[in-house]
């Protein structure tokens, strides 16, 4: 190609910025960094680098580290499942899920992030607010009836305990152990659904 041709060749259109994709990438990187390093050791520079973004964009989209952490918490606690639960099959469905291997890696990282947040005095209060709004409130609404909030807390505590056991086990249960586990876990969850 000649020098003249190079000078007259039309330039490529500038790449369009996608604020929504950048924000999502920052949030995903933040969840991973907070899960791995915890709030105190996670650095905005590392989060930005993992997201392929500039640190200034974290401040622009989220306001700072604490606000980013809160958004990452909210993104890690999905309230939608409570809306999709069917009372008639809930106990058996959850028991079967808990007998299986942990879900995809992203969910495992999300749960590790929540556990790490619970263990830190700096982040435990933030986690408490997020859990109240995005986990306990939807469960209480789904349960309904008298003392729904207290019953939701017991159900959530049991559910979280089963999640921790499944995470530690790291594999699906098989054979007779699986059958007994599902039967007993389903009975426990069924008992938690009803009015005392």
Nearest to 116 by CA among 158, 62, 82, 69: 69
For residue 82, the model assigns a pLDDT of: 63
Nearest to 195 by CA among 163, 159, 156, 150: 150
**pLDDT tens-digit map of 2-55:** 444 444 445 434 335 688 888 999 998 998 888 888 888 889 999 999 999 989
Residue 105: pLDDT band (50, 70, 90) is low
Give the chain's domains with CATH numbers: 18-75 (1.10.10.60), 80-193 (no CATH)
Residue 88 DSSP symbol: T
Q: Are 24 and 50 in contact (CB under 8 A)?
A: no
């Amino acid at each position: 190609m000649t020098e003249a041709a190079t000078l007259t060749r039309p330039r490529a259109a500038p790449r369009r910025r996608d604020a929504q994709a950048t924000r999502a990438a920052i949030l995903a990187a933040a969840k991973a960094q907070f899960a791995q390093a915890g709030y105190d050791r996670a650095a905005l520079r590392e989060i930005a680098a993992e997201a392929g973004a500039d640190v200034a964009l974290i401040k622009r989209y989220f306001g700072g580290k604490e606000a980013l952490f809160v958004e990452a918490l909210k993104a890690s606690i999905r309230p939608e499942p409570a809306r999709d639960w069917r009372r008639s099959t809930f106990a058996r469905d959850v028991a079967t899920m808990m007998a299986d291997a942990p879900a995809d890696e992203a969910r495992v990282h999300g749960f590790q992030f929540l556990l790490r947040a619970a263990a830190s005095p700096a982040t435990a209060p933030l986690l408490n607010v997020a859990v109240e709004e995005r986990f306990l409130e939807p469960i209480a609404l789904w349960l309904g009836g008298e003392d729904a909030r207290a019953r939701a807390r017991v159900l959530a505590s049991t559910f979280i305990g089963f999640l921790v056991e499944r995470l530690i086990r790291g594999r699906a249960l098989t054979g007779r152990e699986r059958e007994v586990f599902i039967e007993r876990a389903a009975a426990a969850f069924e008992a938690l659904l009803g009015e005392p």
